[in-house]
Amino acid sequence: MTDNRLYWIWLQQALEPGGVKTALALSAFASPEAIHRASRAELMRAGFTGALLARLCRKSLDPAARILEDSLKDGAFVLTMGDDAYPDCLRNTYMPPLVLYGKGELPPLDRLPAVAMVGTRKASDYGCRAASSIAAGLAAGGCIVISGGAVGIDGASHRGALAGGGLTIAVQGCGLDVDYPKPNRRLREEILAADGVIVTEYPPGSPPLREHFPVRNRLLAGMAMAVCVVEAPERRGSLIPARLARNQGRDVYVVPGEITSGNSSGSNDLIKDGAALITKASEILRDYAPRFPDVLDLRAADAAQAASRGGGTAKVSAAGSKASAAPPAPVKVEPAPVPPAFSPCPAGASPGAALLYQMLTPEPLAAEILAQKAGLAFPAALAGLTELEIAGCARNFPGRQFALRPL
C-alpha cells in the first residue's frame, strides 16, 4: 500500500511551495491521490496549463519516495495537510503548505498562544536588544515565539525566547539539512536542545534561494495569533508577515524605532497605519489573557523582560510561565442586561448574531469564550460577531475580543 504522504509530497513538488494553484488543485479534486490519478484531459478541464500541467502529468512517485526517505533518515517529521496533527491555523491560512518537514515536536498551535517576531537582517544594536527583550518576556509569559531563523531580528528573537525559558520555532526558507545561515548553526542546535522546533516546507537539499523567503513568510503569519515587527525598512520582505497577518484578521504589533533610521521606516509606518505600538511583551499578552487565562502570566513576562534589559536571567519554568506565580482566577462570563447606553441589536440580525449579542458585555471578551457561552461553533460565532461589528453594535479589540459598542 502506498504511503499517503507520497502523494502530498508529489503534489507539493509539482505545484511548488506557495504555488498559486494550490487552492485550485485542492478544490477541483478530492485528494492528492485523485490528482495523481487524473488524466491530462481531466487536469486541463480543471484549469491547469503549461509547465504546471506538464509537471502534474509526471506520475512517478520515486522522487517523492526519496524525499520521504531522506527526511526520515535525518530524524525529521513529515507532516501533510491530510494528517490530523496538521494545525488548523495553517490549514485556514493563505496558500497553506501541503507538506511540512521539521525537527523537534511541533506543539499544538491551535491551542497555545504564539507570536511571530519579524524584522530586518541588518538590525541595529537597538533592534536586536529590543527584539531579544520582547521575546524573553513573551516566552517567560507562556507564549511560543516564532521567527525565521535568519540573522538580525530573527536570531535575536530566538535567543531572547531561549533566555526567557520558553519555546521557540524557526521557520526556514531552505531544506532542514542545509546549513543556513552558517552564523546561526549553534542557535539552531540550542533551539532543538530546548525542545524547540525547526520547520520548513522545502524538502532536503533545497538551497536558500532568495525567492524562498517571501514565500516562507506566509507560514510565520499563519502559525501565529499575532505578528510583532521590530525594525523593518520600507518595501522589504520583513513586512510581508505583517501584511498577511492583517489580511487574515490577525493582530499586528510594532516596537517603535528611531525616526532617523531607515531600518525603522517601514515598521514606524505600520504604527501610523493602525498597528498597535508596544514596548513590553505584556502589552501583547494582555490582549490574549482572556483566551488563555491558565497559560499566560503577565507578571512573569514583565520580570523576564526587566531581567533581559538588565543583563540578568529571569527565573521562569522551562515552559516559560507559572514558575512561581499562583494561577489566575478563571474568567467568568455572565450575560447581563444591556444598558441603554449601548447600541441595540439590529432588528434584522441573524439568530446566531442575536444570541451572541446577549453574551456581550461592556468589557472585551474573547471570541472563543463568547462562542462557548452561546453554544456555537467558533467559525459561526466569528461570523455572527463580525455581523454585529458591521451593524455598529459591537466593538472588535486586539486578540479577537468583542464588547458592546457605546452609543
What are the tens digits of pLDDT across the range 112-144? 999 999 999 999 999 999 999 999 999 999 999
Are 199 and 92 members of one domain?
no
Task: For residues 203 and 211, give the distance between their C-alpha atoms in angstroms, rounded to a whole number.
Answer: 15
Give the Cβ contact number of residue 377 at 10 Å: 11
The reply to whether 333 falls in a domain is no
User: How is 82-112 classified by DSSP, letter by letter?
Assistant: TSTTS-HHHHTSSS--SEEEEES----TTTS
Q: Are 153 and 131 in contact (CB under 8 A)?
A: yes
Residues 6+ apart with CB under 8 A from 51: none
- Closest C-alpha among 185, 193, 204 to residue 167: 193
The mean pLDDT value for 242-247 works out to 88
Domain limits for position 69: 4-103
What type of residue is 6?
L
Residue 322 maps to a domain? no
Q: What is the pLDDT, as a whole number, of residue 368?
A: 81
Q: Are residues 33 and 159 in the same domain?
A: no
- pLDDT score at 406: 85
Domain assignment present for residue 342? The answer is no
Q: Are residues 199 and 282 both part of a single domain?
A: yes
Same domain flag for 94 and 128: no
Report, in this order, helix, strand and coil percent for the chain, each rounded to 5: 45, 10, 45
Whether 192 has a pLDDT exceeding 50, the answer reads yes
With a cut of 50, say whether residue 147 has pLDDT above it: yes
Rounded to 5 degrees, what are φ and ψ at 273? Answer: -90, 0
In a domain, 337, yes or no: no
Residue 195 falls inside a structural domain: yes
> What total of structural domains would you count in the chain?
3
Alpha carbon distances (Å) from 406 to 341, 344, 382: 6, 9, 21
Q: Do both 96 and 141 map to the same domain?
A: no
- Predicted pLDDT of residue 24: 85
- Same domain flag for 214 and 164: yes
Q: Is residue 327 part of a domain?
A: no
Domain end position, chosen among 309, 339, 374? 309
**What was the pLDDT predicted at 383?**
86
In angstroms, rounded to a whole number, what is the distance separating the alpha carbons of residues 328 and 134? 22
Whether 10 and 57 share a structural domain: yes
Domain end residue (candidates: 309, 343, 368): 309
Q: Which residues contact 202 (CB under 8 A, 6 or more apart)?
A: 17, 101, 172, 173, 174, 175, 212
Q: What is the CATH number of the domain that holds 385?
A: 1.10.10.10
pLDDT at 324 (0 to 100): 35
d(CA 316, CA 163): 10
61-69 mean pLDDT: 98
> Residue 336 pLDDT more than 50?
no
Q: What is the pLDDT of residue 362?
A: 83
Beta bridge partners of 253: 228, 276
Q: What is the mean pLDDT of the chain?
A: 89
- Interval 237-255 mean pLDDT: 89
**Helix (H), strand (E), coil (C) string for 184-242:** HHHHHHHHHHCCCEEEECCCCCCCCCCCHHHHHHHHHHHHCCEEEEECCCCCCHHHHHH
d(CA 220, CA 93): 11
319 pLDDT above the threshold of 50:
no
Is the per-residue pLDDT at 331 higher than 70? no
Nearest to 79 by CA among 108, 39, 120: 108
Q: Specify the higher pLDDT residue, 354 or 333.
A: 354
The residue count of the chain comes to 407
CATH number assigned to the domain comprising residue 279: 3.40.50.450
Say if residue 232 is in the same domain as residue 146.
yes
Residue type present at position 64: A
Please say if the pLDDT value at position 5 is more than 60.
Answer: yes
Q: pLDDT above 90 covers what percent of the chain? A: 68
Average pLDDT (351-363) is: 87
Give 253-279 pLDDT, tens digit per residue. 999 999 999 999 999 999 999 999 999
Do 61 and 201 sit in the same domain of this protein?
A: no
* Alpha-carbon torsion angle 309, 311, 316, 317, nearest 10: 120
Confidence band for 18, pLDDT divided at 50, 70 and 90: confident
Q: What angle do CA 259, 261, 264 make, to 5 degrees?
A: 75
Q: Does 251 score more than 60 pLDDT?
A: yes
Answer with the residue of higher pLDDT: 400 or 334. 400
Residue with grid cell 511548488, as numbered in its chain:
16
Strand partners, 404: 394
- Among residues 275, 309, 343, the one where a domain terminates is 309
On the CB side of 324, how many CA atoms lie within 13 Å of its CA? 8
CA 4 to mean position of chain CA atoms: 26
Q: Which of 326 and 389 is assigned the larger pLDDT?
A: 389
pLDDT score at 310: 65
Q: Are residues 78 and 162 in the same domain?
A: no
Query: Which residues, in sequence order, are bridge partners of residue 252?
Result: 227
Is residue 340 domain-resident? no
Cβ neighbours of residue 43 closer than 8 Å, sequence gap 6 or more: 35, 53, 56, 57
200 neighbors 215 (Cβ within 8 angstroms): no
Q: What is the pLDDT of residue 317?
A: 36
Instruction: Give 316's pLDDT tier (boundaries 50, 70, 90).
Output: very low
Tell me what the mean pLDDT of segment 273-294 comes to.
95
225 has pLDDT over 50: yes
Same domain, 149 and 217: yes
Closest to 241 (Cα-Cα) out of 148, 336, 130: 148
**Strand order from edge to edge, sheet including 401-404:** 365-366, 401-404, 394-397
Is residue 384 situated within a structural domain? yes
Number of other CB atoms surrounding residue 46 within 10 Å:
17
In this structure, are 183 and 277 located in the same domain? yes
